Amino acid sequence: MSTTITFNQLRRIKDSLPEGSMRSIAKALSLDVETVRNYFGGANYDRGKSIGIHLEQGPDGGIVELDDTTILNMARDILEGKREVELKN
């Protein structure tokens, strides 16, 4: 399922995540952690991939069309306390 969100809203979600969240999401989905970071606006395509994020100029940092909301939903679940974050020892 796709959704539209502003770039700044997406970054606020990412910036609000506790330490270890990117690793936990990546591990749960069998993705490279850089791919998860790229989903939230990162740009490390040497190690990570682009996965269904489309940017357009617009207000609040621009408009982001997300083809798949799985990562976004997992991040929201972490913020709402519905999903645990695995901390690296």
DSSP string, 24-69: HHHHHHT--HHHHHHHTT---TTTS---SEEEE--STT-EEEES--
Structure tokens at 53: 């994020």
pLDDT confidence band for 61 (50 / 70 / 90)? confident
pLDDT of residue 50: 63
Domain ranges of the chain: 3-79
Mean pLDDT of 68-85: 93
Distant-in-sequence contacts of 79-84, Cβ < 8 A, 24+ apart = 79/13, 79/16, 79/17, 83/24, 84/24
